[in-house]
Amino acid sequence: MLADIEAGLSVDSHRIYASGFSNGAGFAARLAVDRSETFAAVAFSGGGLAEAHSPVRSVPTYSTVGSLDPKILARMDPPIPELPLGPVQILRNPELRGYLSIALETLGLDEHVYGVNAVPGSTSFRWPGTNPLFRFAIIEGLDHHYPQGAAEEFGAFFAQHRLP
């Protein structure tokens, strides 16, 4: 697909990105693993990797989920009506902890070196804390839908990253 695009358009090979939602999020996450030397960054919502991988290079990644996403809530044991927004509660939640551990292991990041920003409506983590290689956010009240404003937010994330 990239070869077809590059054949017809002028493409900056240092600024190729992938984004997706739900199953497309899993696809974007796998592109970051399987084509880590091609993609400068990835961003996705409502999905991700099911297990840790070992990419050639760690691709900057931005992932979001909704606090009311039924696909995540269905896996909670015991059941909860909504994902927590408190940073401590997020990190103590077994399902969210597992998701974060997979991403952190894949990217080779220290789980203890992060920054957090909790504001009304969302909580966002960044690993490492200042120049994130991995950013994760929970958006309050969002179910399994692509978040409003995500294209702009992901675009700003992409603008910060290019292939070396």
Choose the CATH number for 2-159 among 3.40.50.1820, 3.30.2350.10, 3.40.50.2300, 3.10.450.50.
Answer: 3.40.50.1820
CB contact at 8 A, 102 and 112: no
Higher per-residue pLDDT: 164 or 147: 147
- What's the length of the chain? 164
50-70 per-position pLDDT tens digit:
999 999 999 999 999 999 999
Please report the DSSP string for 45-114 in residue order. Answer: ES---SS----SSPPPEEEEEETT-HHHHTT-SS--SS---SHHHHHH-HHHHHHHHHHHHHHT--TTS-
Mean pLDDT within 139-161: 96
| Per-residue pLDDT at 37 exceeds 90 | yes
- Could you tell me the residue ranges of all domains in the chain? 2-159
| Per-residue pLDDT at 164 exceeds 90 | no
| Per-residue pLDDT at 131 exceeds 80 | no
Kindly list the distances between the CA atom of residue 18 and the CA atoms of 31, 47, 107, in Å, as whole numbers in the listed order.
8, 14, 16
